[in-house]
C-alpha cells in the first residue's frame, strides 16, 4: 500500500503570502518559505496509507463551517529563548471559528481511524525554519516587525494536502478542498 505525508491547511490569499515571503531578512541559517509554502496547519497526520486517506477524505468532506476572517498579527519565534527553530506569524488569540474548525478536523481524523496528536495546538503561520541561528541574530529583525498587522485573511475553505520533502523544501499537492457553507452544521 502506498502512503502519503498528509496535513490539513488553511491557505492565505496570494497577496498576503507574497508579503510574508518578502519579509525574508537574508540571515544565514534561516530558510525562508516561498509564498506557495506559507499556510496555517490545522492538523498534521504524517504518512497515511491510501485506504486510510480515502476514509479521511470522506470524513473531511462532511465538515460544515461558515467562512470567517483570520487576524494576521505579531511576529515571533519558537522557542522564544535560546536557538529558534521557527519564525512565525500569529493569528490573534482565542479565535472561536478557528478552534471549532480545528476540532472538527481532529474529529474527522479520529472517525477515519487516525491517531490524534495529543500535544496542545498553537495556531500560527510558519514563515521560516532556522538551523544554528541564535535568538540574538534575529532580535533586530523581530523588533523591526514587532507591530506587524497584515490585516484579516478570509477563510473560505480548507485543504487536505500531501507533502513531499525535497532539499529545497517541501512540495505540496492539494488532495482535497472543502469549501465553507452558508449554514453551519456538524
**Residues carrying an active site annotation:** 39, 124
Closest CA to 158 of 61, 90, 92: 61
Strand-pair partners of 40: 10, 125
CA 73 – CA 33 distance, rounded (Å): 18
Asked if residues 13 and 153 have their Cβ atoms less than 8 Å apart, the reply is yes
CA 142 – CA 157 distance, rounded (Å): 30
Distances (CA, A) of 154 to 66, 72, 98: 11, 11, 12
| Grid cell in block for residue 129 | 525554519
Amino acid at each position: 500500500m502506498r502512503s502519503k505525508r498528509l496535513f490539513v491547511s488553511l491557505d492565505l490569499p496570494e497577496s498576503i503570502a507574497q508579503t510574508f515571503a518578502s519579509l525574508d531578512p537574508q540571515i544565514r541559517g534561516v530558510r525562508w518559505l516561498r509564498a506557495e509554502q506559507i499556510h496555517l496547519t490545522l492538523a498534521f497526520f504524517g504518512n497515511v496509507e491510501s485506504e486510510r486517506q480515502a476514509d479521511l477524505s470522506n470524513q473531511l468532506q462532511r465538515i460544515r463551517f461558515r467562512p470567517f476572517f483570520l487576524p494576521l498579527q505579531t511576529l515571533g519565534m519558537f522557542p522564544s529563548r535560546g536557538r529558534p527553530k521557527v519564525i512565525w506569524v500569529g493569528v490573534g488569540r482565542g479565535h472561536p471559528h478557528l478552534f471549532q474548525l480545528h476540532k472538527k478536523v481532529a474529529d474527522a481524523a479520529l472517525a477515519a481511524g487516525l491517531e490524534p496528536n495529543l500535544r496542545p495546538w498553537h495556531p500560527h503561520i510558519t514563515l521560516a525554519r532556522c538551523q544554528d541561528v541564535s535568538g540574538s541574530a534575529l532580535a533586530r529583525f523581530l523588533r523591526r516587525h514587532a507591530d506587524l498587522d497584515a490585516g484579516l485573511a478570509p477563510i473560505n475553505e480548507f485543504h487536505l494536502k500531501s507533502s513531499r520533502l525535497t532539499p529545497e523544501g517541501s512540495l505540496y499537492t492539494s488532495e482535497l478542498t472543502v469549501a465553507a457553507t452558508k449554514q453551519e452544521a456538524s
